[in-house]
Structure 1
Amino acid sequence: MALCALLLGTAVQSQVSGKLVIADSSPVAYATISLLKRSSDSTLVRSAASDAKGSFRLSAVLPGTYIIKVSCVGYSNYVSSLTIPGSAFDAGTILLKTAGKQLSEVVIRAHKPLVEQGAGGLVVNVQNSILTKGSSVLEVLSRSPGVIIDQQTSAISLNGKSGVMVMLDGKLLRLSANQVATMLNGMTADDINKIELLATPPAKYDADGNAGLINIVTKKNKRAGTSGSVTASAGYGKGDKSSADIDLYNNSSKVSLHASYSYNRDHSYALLLAQGISNTPIIGGLTNFHYNGQGNTVSVYQGLGAGLDYHPGAKTVIGGAVYYSISSNQNNSHNFGNYALADTNLVFDSQLVGNSHTHYIHPSLYLDQSISPAQKLNINLDYFDHHSNGPTQVQSNFSDSLFASRQRNLANANINVFVAQLDYSNSFNKRLQLETGLKSTYTPSKSASALENLVGDHWVPVSAGTSNNLATRELIAAGYAVLNWKPDSLTSLSAGARYEYSRNTTDHSLNAQYAIDRTLGKLFPDVFFSRKLNATDEVQLSYTQRISRPSFAELASYVSYNSPTSVFTGNPALKPTITHNLKLAYNRQDYLFSILYSHDTDPILGVQGVPGPTKGLVYLMPENADWQNNLTAQATIPVKPTAWWEMNYNFIGGWHQYRISYFPQLLEKSYFSYSLNFTESFKLPRKYAIELSGYYNSSSYNSNSRSNGNAIVNLGFKKELNNNKGSFQLSIADIFAGSSYRGHSGILVTDAFDTDVQISYRPESYFRPIIKLSYSRSFGSTSKKATRDTNGTKAEQQRL
């Protein structure tokens, strides 16, 4: 159907051309020409840039009446009505005037594309999706091109690679994958402006993240006066969902204030099925087992934020902000299984009850100073405090292993992060600019965990290998310099480097067996080159180096219960991953194409079943592979068959190869995998809209396991009310119940436990689509005022 409509539409499409000049007939180069739908919302139809001679061309335009808008720095906007016939159309010579009095009667709303190409990767404008309202940030992230979130471990991968780091407003979330997922799942996406998928970030960003960085950018309200927004949603799957969010702003010439509150509750359900063969000496040897785990979880998240910007003069901005969140996670799971041994049959039935709490606070201060029109200085001071406590108790009938019929799991973590950053930029002239900066990060942390059996009336440790207590300290000192050069109006070159020195140590007095004292000093260079071929086409080439340091959770000594035969733990011996990236990108209008090659040394693989201190017990812990190669192609194709129908397709696919030597046998594997994201948007009369979106992920491999492919389709409806009274959105997630995640472990080589296990994980939407109804409304002043975009330090918060 889509193909037929596209063919019919292209049969009558036209090309619009013209030229931009000023009063003395000089051409205006690289102005933005926008063709807008002549309607109440002035939707963007096509856009292009004028070339060095002032000429422009808009391709594939349907006949009709439009508004043409021309904008360029230093010139007044040109706005005019335009009727285009069903053939090539010459708009003639358009005269632009130098900036003077601005138009006040014409209001034009330009519509950004859903996906854009930036220097470091893709940018997703999430507010263009109907499904954003009422969704959590994690749900929106999972629908982004190339992003895959492991439903069991919460690990995030980008373009087929694990090791991605997550930032919030340019600051790394220095938390574990599970902690990041918990935080993002609690945050409402109504506050998110865009998501930057930076596969090759430049040197001004931290070098952490061998798969790149994901930067989640929140909304910034720059309206003068008092304004705000409110959003509320309610929904149901197998459990209830609800969220609320309110933002308040007050901006004046001297002071800008901001306050926000968000609430999110999610009662969810999940089912884990596992069956196969494993050699588990802890219960008697070779075992044929069936395992069933039913998860029933209630998560509640509350976040409170406040900020202040003060403008003592035209060249100075001083500000600060604080964000505090508290979350709880009540887990009530029922697990049962059957373990068939050579001479007996063991039946397992248990009830797991846990109630974890997390407190997170982030105060920050900053100073922006314009030393001169060409020189700018920025200073940021940040502090992050994360404390979690997650006790769990298990009552079971199983006493044939290391664990008693009643046991408990204690897990506490306290992490502090201190960050100081200074950034300086100097534009020597219109063609040459320098960016440089210094940054220091100090992170002390403590973690304590234990598995204990109830013996009589006393809790006693299960064994020496199932309890730990560890303190770590990490210092990272970094400096960077980037030189941006424009030899001509068509070419730009950016060359830079970032040097980072890090030292990671443990407190030997707490646990001598985990004594670590490691240092690493390394230079991370990068080069970005771009060349405009004409007004619509551009080519980009870049080389970058990255590092993935083991997270604190991956290094920590925690031990947590998984099953009667296995436990989760960290690995203090993990080495960092060093990555080399080479990327070629080509952009033609809104069509984006790229090829990325990367090589990783010592890539970190999570949740590997290996032997540990307690003989016969399976330890699920991260390990280093030897190396990994990836060759990935990406394409973003926007299609607009009609003025009311927009389509956007994103394809990411590539070849992957890795080698692992920690198994009894050497493992080398090459495979091809791909993913496809799509969005179909329909604008209907009376301010109604429909959105259909989804993705398909092909089968892939990780270590000694294969994950099967799966597909998810979502549906959304939107109704905008008259007189700016807000809008209603109805979203239906996973309408065809496609979110079953199936895998096969032990498929490539024989591991230390002769594992051959098939796993199926079924989240809540597999059993029933999740339906949410949301209402949102903005209120207050509509006038604009330029204020600081408070991103703060350009990179801190993930690895805890």
Structure 2
Amino acid sequence: MGVMNACTKTLLSLLMTLLTGLTCLATDYRTLLRDKSTGEAVAGATALLMAPDSTTIAVVVSDAEGAVRLSGEGASCLRISHLMYHPLMVDLVGTTLPDTLRLEPRSELLEGLVVSAERPVMKLLEGGISSYDVELLFEKSPVSTAYEMLCRLPGMREESGVPVLTGVSGFTLVMNGKPSSLPQDQLLEQLKSIPVSLVASAEISYTPIARYRAKGASVNIVLKHQSRERITSGLSAQLFGTYTSQYYSRYAAGGSALYTSPSGLSVSGRYRAGLGDEISDQSVVTGPLGSLPEIRTRNVGKSSFTTHTLSLDLGYRKGRHDLSTTYYGTFSPNNHFTERDIERPHPIEQEQESQRQTHHLSVEYGYDGHLMVGAFYTDYHHSQSVTYGTGLDATPSEAFAFDNGQRSRVVGAHVDNSHWLGGGWGIEYGSKFSLSHTANRQQYWVVAGETQTTAPTERVSRELLADIYLGVKKQLTSALSIDATLIGDYARYYGHEETFRLMPQASLLYRISQTDMLQLSFNSQKKYPAYFEREPFSTQRSALQVWQGNPDIRPFVTYNAQAVYVLRGKYQFVISDNYAPHCFIQQMYLDPELEKIVYKTWNWHYYNNLSLTAVAPLPKTDWWQGRLVLDVGSTWIKLDVPFVGTVDRRRTYLFGSLSNDFVLSERNGLTAGLDLSYITGSMQGIYDISDLANLSARMKWVSRDKKWSVTVRGNDLLEKGSPRVRANQGVQQFDFVPSRHGRNFSLDIRYTFGNYKSVKSPSLLDTSRFGM
């Protein structure tokens, strides 16, 4: 432990010394290139940073937005050259480089020659990031919210209610280029309240971006008022109401409002309220278990809920300075759940009463797009009361009753910075820490039909997580670049273990042309268990089912290697291998000693997945556009199965999806969509999962003034989107259906008002874990 602390202190000292000295190594030069006649961005121009003796200090090619960024010491001038424009020389001695440079078109070009092209849906940004113009991509698609937009981006799909990026094991969601300290499920919930009309672009990166705290793939959602090159002002607001029918009915209503001023002030707020009922229908049929010939159970339940979600953002931008503060809160004050095992001759009813709330506050400061400093505080509270069979006249022997709860408080901070050095070199570095204090409490009042008077079981855990990273990148030529990052990850569980691990990341990018790209990358990412999964608690779910905590579970590191090829700016091909030694996933298994079904999370030997993914937009017409996604992969796993031993398995799967958007009447604002996806049988641990198919349809009407919209959707129309699970490993013999009634229909009505306007043309847009 002493050696580890010494190594940590040495690394921190070296990095701090490096950070304090780097700020004066080189001067950053940034500008935007524009056509003097049209104001359009000038892409593909060569920018040379030159010394007084005319030697070249740095060279770069302007990107699709016309942005130029160089760094060097002792520069005297900047030379801009392009085949279609006159050369431009800018003196840098004793003056500041203008924010925008306007190039004069060559007068000797043929006046009668006009070159026109479609506005690109996707642009390749620095680092091989695919940036999608959301307004153009979904202009004829019945998409209403930022969440729906995310699920329908090229390569994205929704799986079991969660957005998935095909070809990778997971992704980090980022808002406006700023890493968030909120859990990702809460960020996704925020997107459901953001109108798609407020989204400027979506950026997908298959390689790690250190400033995003993304150790793997990432998706950055950029809102229009957060674009540095699109100055906006005015007020925009939207009200919505949604009705969903899925066996029972659910309702949601709320709104969002955004105000921005040319002075740089922005204020936004979002509120969403939901209430209704949801059905749960889970069944298990087992083989012989202990003295029992079989277990046959089907738990059918009804959940009644009320939720409130509120988020407020206050931002101020002046020059190169950017300051913002965010509050996010969720409240579920009255949740009631009842469940019965309808396979029993005389079903016993389980009742649950619960409430939960989350408060999150963060402050962020940014400077010139490369320095980010922030701090956050999160408070989470959950309480639950469960009874099973205690309300009957004669208390059965299986009856139980207990209360449990969790209170978590997390505080943290981060700093991230980057510099461009001379000779095409760049460097980025930063650090983040979080300190959590979690209290879990559980008390049984009735066990096996007998009243208990024992004291409650309480456990308090503290956890310190910190990381520090240092990355370098080199622009070898105008088309070829490389970067590498080393991350030091430190974790301390007070009263338990202390770990420090070095994790490398690297990538190589080759720009074949403005629209073609090849990228090779390797990254590693550490994953932590949820707070409650490490607790030594056992919780009854029914007379035959129990959930068990696991104090022995440990974090694991997953390693990912991949190659990404982008063709013509729209076709994508990804080869990826994901290897995760000691990974953990919750599994269900049979315990012949307890004669019960147990749910538990534990570490496996390893998980490995090799996949090939292709994303292709289909030829577009005036009334139809479509996209095809194909993914073929093979999975290897090895794990120790309770009461069975070590199991080594392999299985190949195939996934395909076809998305279609139709323009029924452009004059009347009618659009429709039809999506079909299919995945062959797969596996997870000891589970064999059945084939899944999903057919969804939607139709949307938008008024001529763009203020009203009505959307009707039908999801899982074939009722084939819910998995059927089977296990056939020794004593682990069972058929498991985790849910039924997947088909649902919804009606969404929205009204938009306000005078939110862009001062500049859109072409100037620069889109550079609680136990809930």
User: TM-score when scaled to structure 1?
Assistant: 0.73
1:703-742 deviation per Cα after TM superposition (whole angstroms, max 9, x unaligned):
1111101111111111221123232222122222223321
Equivalent in 201, 208, 227 of residue 208 of structure 2: 201
Return the alpha-carbon distance in structure 1 between the equivalents of residues 473 and 492 of structure 2: 31
Closer, same or farther in 2 for the Cα pair 1:157/1:278, shift >3 Å?
Answer: farther
Matched residue, 2:601: 622
Match of 1:499 among 481, 488, 493: 488
CA distance in 1: counterparts of 2:408 and 2:148, whole angstroms = 23
Q: Distance in 2 between matches of 1:329 and 1:166?
A: 30
- Matched ranges for 1:14-25 at <5 A: none
1:234 is matched with which residue?
A: 243
Give, as a single letter, the amino acid of the residue that structure 2 aligns with 1:202: I
Q: 5 Å matches for 1:279-678?
A: 279-280=289-290, 285-311=291-317, 313-328=318-333, 330-336=335-341, 338=343, 347=345, 349-370=347-368, 376-395=370-389, 404-428=397-421, 431-453=424-446, 458-460=451-453, 468-506=457-495, 517-589=496-568, 590-609=570-589, 615-663=594-642, 664-678=644-658
The aligned counterpart of 1:697 is 679
Deviations 1:176-215 (A, max 9, x none): xxxx76885686254574777766423444477xxx5665
**The 10-residue stretch of structure 1 (619-628 or 562-571) with the greater mean CA deviation from structure 2:** 562-571
Label 1:609 to 1:735 Cα distance change in 2 as closer, same or farther (>3 A).
Answer: closer
Report if the CA contact (8 A) 2:44-2:64 is conserved.
no
Could you tell me how far apart the structure 2 residues matched to 1:258 and 1:523 are?
Answer: 40
Bigger relative CO (Cα 8 Å, ≥ 6 apart):
1
| 2:194–2:256 Cα contact (<8 Å) kept | no
Q: Is the 8 A contact 2:341 2:347 kept in 1?
A: yes
Identify if the C-alpha distance between structure 1 residues 246 and 214 changes in structure 2 by more than 3 Å, giving closer, same or farther: same
1:728 corresponds to: 710
Q: What secondary structure does 1:288 align onto?
A: coil
Amino acid aligned to 1:771: S
497-506 or 108-117, larger mean C-alpha shift:
108-117
Over 3 Å counting, the alpha-carbon distance change for 1:32 and 1:419 in structure 2 is closer
Shift of the 656–278 alpha-carbon distance from structure 1 to 2, 3 Å rule, reads same
Task: Verify the 8 A CA contact 1:204 1:482 in the aligned structure 2.
Answer: no
Determine helix, strand or coil for the equivalent of 1:531.
Answer: strand
Q: Alpha-carbon deviation of 1:271?
A: 1.8
- Secondary structure at the counterpart of residue 645 of structure 2: coil
Separation in 1, partners of 2:371, 2:397: 61
Alignment match, 1:757 = 734
Deviation at 1:798, TM superposition (A): 6.2
State the distance in 1 between where 2:43 and 2:409 align: 58
- Partner deviation per Cα, 1:649-671 (whole Å, 9 max, x = no partner): 12222111011134433210011
3-state SS of paired residue (1:724): coil
**Once the 2 structures are TM-superposed, how far is the Cα of residue 220 of structure 1 from its aligned partner?**
5.2
One-letter amino acid of the counterpart of residue 242, structure 1: Y
In the TM superposition, residue 348 of structure 1 has moved relative to its aligned partner by: 5.5
Aligned length: 668
How far apart, CA to CA, are the structure 2 residues paired with 1:124 and 1:626? 43
Give the partner amino acid of 1:783.
Answer: S
Cα distance in 2, alignment partners of residues 184 and 165 from structure 1 = 11
1:14 corresponds to? none
Letter matched to residue 332 of structure 1: F
Q: In the alignment, what sits opposite 2:257?
A: 248
SS at match of 2:541: strand
Show the counterpart of 1:274: 284
Which of 744, 758, 761 does residue 783 from structure 1 map onto? Answer: 758
CA contact (8 A) 1:350 1:396 kept: no
| Structure 1 residue 138: Cα displacement | 9.1
Q: Select between 249-258 and 643-652 the one with higher mean Cα deviation.
A: 249-258
What is the alpha-carbon distance in structure 1 between the residues aligned to residue 43 and residue 247 of structure 2?
66
Partner of 1:743: 725
Q: Deviations over 1:484-537 (max 9, x none)?
A: 32222211222212111111135xxxxxxxxxx111111111111111223432
- In structure 2, the residue corresponding to 1:640 is in which secondary structure? coil
Corresponding residue to 2:698 among 716, 719, 726: 716
Deviates more, 1:633-642 or 1:296-305: 296-305
Q: Residues 95 and 484 (structure 1 numbering): CA distance in 2 closer, same or farther, change over 3 Å?
A: farther
Change beyond 3 A, Cα 1:134–1:494: closer
| 2:558/2:578 contact within 8 Å kept | yes
- State the SS of the aligned residue for 1:773: strand
Structure 1 CA distance, aligned partners of 2:203 and 2:549?
30
- Normalised by the size of structure 2, how large is the TM-score? 0.76
Change (3 A) 1:336 1:489: same
Q: Which residue of 188, 193, 208 maps to 2:192?
A: 188
> In the superposition, relative to structure 1, how do residues 564 and 150 fare at CA in structure 2: closer, same or farther (>3 Å)?
farther
Work out whether residues 583 and 605 of structure 2, in 8 Å CA contact, stay in contact via their aligned partners in 1.
yes
- How far 1:588 sits from its partner (Å)? 0.3
State the Cα distance separating 1:241 from its structure 2 match. Answer: 2.4
After superposing the two structures, state which structure 1 stretch, 686-695 or 588-597, moved more.
Answer: 686-695
Q: Aligned residue for 1:793?
A: none
Are residue 265 (structure 1) and residue 270 (structure 2) matched?
Answer: no
Q: CA offset at residue 625 of structure 1?
A: 0.9
1:221 has 2:225 as partner: yes
Contact persistence 1:165–1:214 (CA under 8 A)? yes
